[in-house]
A and B are shown apart, each in its own frame.
Chain A
Amino acid sequence: MIIGAPTPPPGGFPRDRGGPGQPLLSVKGLVKHFGVKKGFLTKAGPIVRAVDGVDFDVVKGETLGIVGESGCGKSTTARLVMQIIAPDAGDILFDGERVGSQALSLNGFRKQVQMVFQDSYASLNPRLTVEDTIAFGPKVHGASGRAATTRAHDLLHRVGLEPARFAGRYPHELSGGQRQRVNIARALALDPRLLILDEAVSALDKSVEAQVLNLLLDLKDEFGLTYMFISHDLNVVRFMSNRVMVMYLGKVAEFGPSEALFETPKHPYTGALLASMPSMDPDARTETAPLTGDPPNPINPPPGCRFNPRCAKSAALCGHKEPTLLDAGVDHRAACWLVDPASGHPRIAA
């Protein structure tokens, strides 16, 4: 039993294959390096280690939050899972089946996994009406025009856009919040099981963001969805997620149940990230910045623990020996020597 994971609704999740105990998504040893082109006539340049050995599971019916700063690999991870880009190494299993295998074709997988992006305008075809945008996917996957349109109207209604008013509109005739609702409706058109939300509310005004978060929660209950929720806003991730994965420079720094991770972070980076959030108390403003400098470049990650040059608790050990994800509590892991009493980190005894 995984702490924080929701109990399945009566009758189980729709189209469940392996039962509630089997993760919906299982990512193992995921690696993606990008070559940087140096310039005219020069050969291969440096390599960006965007995702460098990432393992995680997404449990059926949960929301897995992914946080981290720019360059940490959170969006690349999402794109790899979506098969928008091909991984250099690693396996992606969906409900127990390897993606691209005989049991689960790429086409069959893509029907079950959909994504919503940050830029609601760039995500939509400016020459398609809202209704055609939503009906496009089902038609490609074999639905009749009439069935696809009916479904589009249902979904519009469901995401809070009155079909009679909105079905015939073009993206430029909608506000940012309305466009993101259309993107969500389109993502649901193929009746997916997993929805990847990559900074899906980050570009929205605060008053509209709350509405869309509420909508996402409602849809999750109604359609029995599982979410991967990527955001840089820790408040929003805490509110939305059952479990949270913190990434740093292409690796997982910490993974655990949302409440435990936010209340008692085990990795110093998670702690610094939380302490960097602006205070909401005018009488208790932040006085010192938890970290100095910018997040380093994933081209030349430092040896040992990748966080050690910025870490206040760094020891000699951290500079040459890289920690793996170590147990730090119930369903809680951190890639830090501090959670391993046998590591010999000098701060443990103190």
Chain B
Amino acid sequence: MNATAKMVDVQGLTVDFKGPKGPIRAVDGVDLDLRRGETVALLGESGSGKSVTLRSLMRLHPSSAKIGGKVEVDGRDVLKMGSRELAGLRGPVVSMIFQDPGLAFDPVYRIGDQIVEAVRRHEKLSKAEARKRALELFERVRIPSPDKRLDNYPHEMSGGMRQRAMIALALVCRPKVLLADEPTTALDATVQIQVLLLLRELQRELGLAVVFVTHDIGVAVEVADRIAVMYAGRIVEMGPCRDVIRDPRHPYTQGLLLSRASHAPTPGARLAAIPGAPPDLSDLPPGCAFRPRCGHAIDDCAEAAPPAADVGPAHFARCIRTRRAAEAFESVTA
């Protein structure tokens, strides 16, 4: 396989859902590409469009949703696929892990049987061969006494172990792209770090392309090569992990970094909070959607959605005041 080939190529993605007052644009012009062995984190708050973007790669939206733009995975056009082709895509090419493994498994079947069923749906293997594959994966995701655990029902496992089992299920058809939707958010801190390290290791060993959705900057830093910050359905800043964290150029990214409790100068001092609340997607302000909350906003910000401004190698921010924002951030953090 060509190592530089794009595993994921998304251009101008838009997703509209039906709302009570007309269509709601949940994703508004997202461009995203991923190569083999690369991890991109989609970072954002609720309603920012990060999960909707992720689900578009597997077309998991209800049929009433309107998807526009181009979505290619492993060179195949996902938006033009029929249901049979989609079934062939989901599993062997792209698979997904979710926040709640309790919902991903059927509670009345043994976990091993569910994994065997998934393999045999896509590959011509005997039950014994499929179980062997499942066992290998249980060992790989480091579930203790894997052979016994295959015969467990989902409720017999702890949260962390269920999450490992779901990762095994997602990888059993040897996909090229793994989509992760907040897979560690519901886990305890000491378990979260174990699962993050496991995902990082599997990603390296198997050469997976990973899209990782999270609201936690620390989690993004642990797993991502690149970070895409989303706000109101758009990617407002994207770049190499190091550059986005050290030299953020969009005022929203800066606000997220500065308002963290760990950034407080002394305990008890007030945090540099971003004022206001995330916008209502059915009633977005014209121009830059962050303008009403932004300390650097000027009249021009209301004119049009800001184009991507290059601020470094492979690093852009959708802001017309990136220079001003950079100076302000330096003066605060210096």
Smallest CB separation, B116 vs chain A (Å): 25
In order of increasing CB-CB distance, the 9 nearest A-B pairs are A278-B218, A210-B273, A210-B259, A239-B261, A69-B188, A205-B45, A235-B262, A294-B158, A207-B274
* Interchain CB contact under 8 A, B271 and A289: no
Nearest-CB residue, chain B, relative to A287: B197
Interface string of B262-281 (1 = CB under 8 A from A): 10100110111111011000
Task: Specify which of A69, A175, A258 is in contact with B190 (CB 8 Å cutoff).
Answer: A69
**Which A82-122 residues sit within 8 Å CB-CB of chain B?**
none
Taking the nearest CB of chain A, how far is it from the CB of B325, in angstroms? 16
Smallest CB-CB separation from A284: which chain B residue? B221
Q: Which residues of chain A come closer than 8 Å to B282, judged between CB atoms?
A: none
Residues of B within 8 A of A234 (CB): 189
Contact string, B214-225, partner A, CB cutoff 8 A, digits 1/0?
011111011000
Determine if B241 and A282 form an interchain contact, defined as CB atoms under 8 angstroms apart: yes
Task: Provide the residues of chain B in CB contact with A189, threshold 8 Å.
Answer: none
Contact between chains at B160 and A294 (CB < 8 Å)? yes
Determine whether the beta carbon of B190 is less than 8 Å from that of A289. yes
Q: B267 contacts A259, CB within 8 Å?
A: yes
* A213 and B261 form a contact (CB under 8 A): yes
Q: A69-B190, A239-B268, A285-B221 are in contact. List 10 more A-B contacts (CB 8 A).
A: A69-B188, A69-B191, A70-B188, A211-B273, A232-B188, A235-B262, A277-B218, A282-B246, A295-B190, A295-B191
Closest to B231 in A: A207
Please measure, in the bound complex, the distance between the C-alpha atom of A62 and the C-alpha atom of B269, giving whole angstroms.
15
Could you say which residues of chain B place their CB within 8 Å of the CB of A36? none
Q: Secondary structure of the B side of the interface? A: helix
Q: Which chain A residue lies CB-closest to B191?
A: A294
Query: Within the assembled complex, what's the spacing in Å between the Cα atoms of A294 and B161?
Result: 8
Q: B245, B271, B277: which contacts A177 (Cβ < 8 A)?
A: B277
- The count of residues in chain A whose C-beta lies closer than 8 Å to any C-beta of chain B is 50
Give B contacts to A, CB under 8 Å.
45-46, 144, 158-161, 188-194, 196-197, 215-219, 221-222, 241-242, 245-246, 255-256, 259-262, 264, 267-268, 270-275, 277-278, 293
CB nearest to B244 among chain A residues: A282
Residues of A within 8 A of B (CB): 69-70, 175-178, 205-211, 213-214, 217-218, 232-236, 238-241, 258-259, 272-273, 276-283, 285-295, 297
- Inter-chain residue pair count (beta carbon < 8 A): 137
B40 → A minimal CB distance (Å): 14
A205 near B215 (CB under 8 angstroms)?
yes
10 A–B contacts from the bound complex (CB under 8 Å): A175-B278, A210-B273, A210-B274, A277-B218, A278-B219, A280-B221, A282-B221, A285-B221, A295-B191, A297-B158
A235 to B216, CA, bound (A): 12
Assuming the contacts A206-B260, A276-B190, asked whether A282 and B245 have C-beta atoms less than 8 A apart, the reply is yes
Once the chains bind, are B189 and A206 in contact (CB under 8 Å)?
no
Q: Which residues of chain B come closer than 8 Å to A290, judged between CB atoms?
A: 190, 193
Closest to B184 in A: A278
Q: Which of B194, B242, B255 contacts A207, CB < 8 Å?
A: B255
B46 touches A238 (CB 8 A): no
B188 A278 Cβ-Cβ under 8 A: no
- Chain A residue contacts of B215, Cβ below 8 A: 205-206
Which residues of the partner chain B approach A272 to less than 8 Å between Cβ atoms?
190
Residues of B close to A217: CB separation below 8 A:
268, 270
Q: Are A285 and B267 in contact (CB under 8 A)?
A: no
The answer on a CB contact under 8 Å between A278 and B222 is yes
A291 neighbours in B (Cβ, 8 Å): 190, 194
Minimum CB–CB distance for A225 against chain B, Å: 14
Q: Contacts of A213 on B, CB cut-off 8 Å?
A: 261, 271, 273
On chain A, the residues within 8 Å of B189 by CB distance are: 69, 232, 234, 273, 276-277
